[in-house]
Amino acid sequence: MVGFFCILMPALKLISIMLVWVVPVDVDHLPKMVSVVTGIGKWSMLDVFTMAYAVFLLCAETVNKA
């Protein structure tokens, strides 16, 4: 879960944004590419929530051991 949301999704978002900026795109295909970047961007906050959850679990585990 951490690898998917914290590594793969941000990398996919970066690659898709770079493709929109660098690769010459036909005007007819531009709305489709922008919608793909927007769709990936909607999932971009999950990496923050995943890391927060992982930190919470680690902190809760250390508090329970003390």
Successive 10-residue mean pLDDT values, the chain, 66 residues: 76 84 84 83 78 88 72
pTM confidence score? 0.57
Give the Cα separation of 48 and 45 in Å (integer): 5
Is the dihedral angle over the CA atoms 8, 11, 17, 19 positive or is it negative? Answer: negative
Q: What's the confidence (pLDDT) of residue 66?
A: 58
Three-class secondary structure of residue 11 per DSSP: helix
